[in-house]
């Protein structure tokens, strides 16, 4: 199944949120809340290198009255979360990424863990799961471009194969004796399932064998079949691909309904991200009046996702110097907004979506101290 375009129409909704906790609301058990969060955006969508999910867990049972949202969990943000009586911190970026060899007061990330445990506060991070989700960070970023159609640059695949195994091996057997030999051998192999059905080729009755197997078992199957020239020469090996998920994946390729000048697009982006400045690299032969019709975007760091993607504009938080040069040489404009500036605004939408998803059972508040560490001076 191929990803079809999603039509994005920006709308402005005025919502009023009180910073004061509403203690009249009920609470949720941590495990129940985690299950609901996974229903909202499955952690299986996250990149394999990422560290997502529950990173710090107070001893059970743990109930959550207040969920605290932040883009980055710094010591200043942790202090704010504790002051506001948070029971669970949802930090978009995982504060624990590389393994910790000890938990002491020496480094700021270790101190975050200590403070969380001492105050019975959980820490949860969705990171790239929210990047890939249809209602996630990249879709939010695309809303600032204007009316457009959008599709993932790198579509996500279903977490499981449609059938058991990663490969299918098919071949034909002519006689019952050979069939019994194959079935007996295959049954002794782990991670191999077998089906058979009768066929007729050139007026000759045959049995078609279909084996589903894992990558590891495939080696055993091929070794067995190679012992018989009759089997091996007629063997077909198919790689089983996971199906693509609709509207889900990394980055977005957006096609505007109507072209606008680069200058107009810059103003739209600054307004959407509430920024007074962005960094711009003009593509070769381009000016501020050059038309922009297709935008490739990736929240955060877009070097890998945007590499080689043809568009009028690449929009992301940060890219390496040499990746910017490569894009510019191809006539592609590049706008960099600093890493977290392309993500943080999503949290306001997230608060509203989670409130509806969780049926307003808990209080959800945004950090007021969370900000990008880089400033224009």
DSSP conformation class of 341: G
Structure tokens at 249: 């994946």
User: CA angle, 46 as apex, 48 and 274 as ends, to 5°?
Assistant: 130
Angle between helical axes of 108-118 and 75-83 (0-180°, round to 10): 10
Residue 35: both structure tokens together: 């299950």
Cβ atoms of 121 and 87 within 8 Å: the answer is: yes
* Short-list 240, 253, 269, CA closest to 341: 269
pLDDT in tens, the chain (377 residues): 344 455 555 554 444 444 444 444 689 999 999 999 999 999 999 999 999 999 999 999 999 999 999 999 999 999 999 999 999 999 999 999 999 999 999 999 999 999 999 999 999 999 999 999 999 999 999 999 999 999 999 999 988 766 778 899 998 887 777 788 888 888 889 889 888 888 877 777 888 889 999 999 999 999 988 887 777 777 899 998 888 999 999 999 999 999 999 999 999 999 999 999 999 999 999 999 999 999 999 999 999 999 999 999 999 999 999 999 999 999 999 999 999 999 999 999 999 999 999 999 999 999 999 999 998 88
Stated pTM of the model: 0.83
Per-residue pLDDT at 159 = 82
Closest by alpha carbon to 59, among 118, 101, 108, 99? 118
Q: Which pLDDT does position 242 carry in this prediction? A: 86
> Would you state the pLDDT for residue 6?
53
Residue that the structure tokens 């969380």 belong to = 116
Q: How far apart are CA 47 and CA 137, in angstroms?
A: 15
**Are residues 315 and 335 in contact, defined by beta-carbon separation less than 8 angstroms?**
yes
Q: Look at residue 308 in the predicted model and tell me its pLDDT.
A: 95
Residues of the chain with CATH 3.30.70.120: 167-239
User: What is residue 155's three-state secondary structure?
Assistant: strand
- Count of alpha carbons within 13 angstroms of residue 263, beta-carbon side: 4
CATH architecture group of domain 167-239 = 2-Layer Sandwich (3.30)
Residue 20, pLDDT score: 43
User: What is the rounded distance in angstroms from the CA atom of residue 129 to the CA atom of residue 345?
Assistant: 17
Residue 150 CA to residue 255 CA, distance in Å, equals: 6
Residue 318 parent element (H or E): strand 313-318
Which CATH superfamily groups domain 133-156+247-340? NIF3 (NGG1p interacting factor 3)-like (3.40.1390.30)
Q: In a 3-state reduction of DSSP, which class is residue 310?
A: coil
Report the alpha-carbon distance of residue 292 to residue 273 in Å, rounded.
19
Measured distance CA(308)–CA(316) in Å, rounded: 14
> Which tokens sit at 364?
């959800």
Contact 37, 126 (CB under 8 A): yes
Asked whether residue 93 is marked as a ligand-binding residue, the answer is yes
**Residue ranges, CATH 3.40.1390.30, the chain:** 28-127+346-366, 133-156+247-340
- Residue 262 makes CB contacts below 8 A (sequence gap 6+) with 282, 286, 287, 288, 289, 290, 291, 292, 312, 313, 333
pLDDT at 173: 83
Residues contacting 199, CB < 8 A, separation 6+? 172, 205, 206, 207, 208
- For residue 127, say whether it is annotated as part of any ligand binding site: no
Predicted confidence at residue 18, as pLDDT, reads 44
The answer to whether 343 is annotated as binding is yes
Predicted local confidence at residue 10, as pLDDT: 53
Assign domain 28-127+346-366 to its CATH architecture. 3-Layer(aba) Sandwich (3.40)
């Amino acid at each position: 199944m191929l990803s079809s375009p999603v039509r994005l129409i920006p709308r402005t909704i005025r919502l009023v949120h009180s910073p004061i906790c509403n203690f009249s609301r009920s609470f949720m058990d941590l495990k129940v809340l985690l299950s609901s969060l996974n229903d909202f955006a499955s952690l299986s969508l996250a990149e394999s290198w990422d560290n997502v999910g529950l990173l710090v867990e107070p001893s059970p049972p743990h109930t959550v009255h207040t969920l605290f949202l932040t883009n980055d969990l710094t010591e200043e943000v942790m202090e704010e979360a504790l002051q506001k009586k948070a029971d669970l911190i949802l930090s978009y970026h995982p504060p624990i990424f590389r393994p910790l060899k000890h938990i002491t007061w020496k480094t700021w990330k270790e101190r975050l863990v200590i403070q969380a445990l001492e105050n019975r506060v959980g820490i949860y991070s969705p990171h790239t799961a929210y990047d890939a989700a249809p209602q996630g960070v990249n879709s939010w970023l695309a809303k600032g471009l204007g009316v457009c159609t959008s599709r993932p640059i790198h579509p996500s695949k279903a977490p499981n194969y449609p059938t058991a195994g990663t490969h299918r091996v098919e071949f034909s057997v002519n006689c019952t004796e050979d069939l019994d030999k194959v079935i007996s051998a295959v049954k002794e192999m782990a991670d191999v399932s077998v089906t058979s059905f009768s066929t007729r080729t050139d007026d000759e009755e045959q049995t078609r064998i279909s084996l589903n197997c894992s990558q590891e078992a495939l080696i055993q199957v091929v070794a067995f079949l190679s012992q018989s020239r009759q089997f091996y020469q007629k063997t077909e090996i198919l790689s089983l691909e996971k199906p693509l998920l609709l509207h889900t994946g990394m980055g977005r390729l957006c096609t505007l309904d109507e072209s606008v000048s680069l200058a107009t697009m810059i103003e739209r982006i600054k307004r959407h991200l509430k920024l007074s400045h962005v960094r711009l690299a003009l593509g070769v032969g381009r000016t501020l009046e050059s038309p922009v019709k297709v935008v490739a975007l990736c929240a955060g760091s877009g070097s890998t996702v945007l590499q080689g993607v043809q568009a009028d504009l690449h929009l992301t938080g940060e890219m390496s110097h040499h990746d910017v040069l490569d894009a510019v040489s191809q006539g592609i404009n590049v706008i960099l907004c600093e890493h977290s500036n392309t993500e943080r605004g999503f949290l306001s939408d997230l608060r509203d979506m989670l409130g509806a998803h969780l049926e307003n059972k808990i209080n959800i508040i945004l950090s007021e101290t969370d900000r990008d560490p880089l400033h224009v001076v």
